Amino acid sequence: MSEPSQEPAVPETGDAGAEAPTGPVCRHLRSKGMYVYTDGMDYGFEHNYDSTLYWCLKTMKAFGPDDDMVEKESCCRPDRPCYQPL
């Protein structure tokens, strides 16, 4: 019988953890906060609330035409096939 290895498992390093470059938000990204009148200032997507729900104007759902989730972070990536900058 061989003894189990005592060395800790080291996660592989690669591009899996690397983030794609981001640009301005996609023109089709929407959230309810965009339609709430506050003080007349256009804050756009500058807020960073964890509970914000987003949808895509192309699909009118929480996933885009590429079947990926609609999120502020992922809808700022030019490498996404449906991305169109403002």
More confident site: 24 or 3:
24
Q: Could you tell me the residue ranges of all domains in the chain?
A: 22-86
Q: What is the pLDDT of residues 22-54, one digit of tens each?
A: 889 999 999 988 887 666 665 566 656 667 889
Banded pLDDT at 86 (limits 50, 70, 90): confident
Distance CA 48, CA 26 (A): 16
CB atoms within 10 A of CB 3: 5
What is the pLDDT, as a whole number, of residue 46?
60
What is the pLDDT, as a whole number, of residue 22?
83
Are the beta carbons of 29 and 75 closer than 8 angstroms? yes
Q: Per-residue pLDDT for 9 more than 60?
A: no
More confident site: 71 or 47:
71
Q: Strand, helix or coil at 43?
A: coil
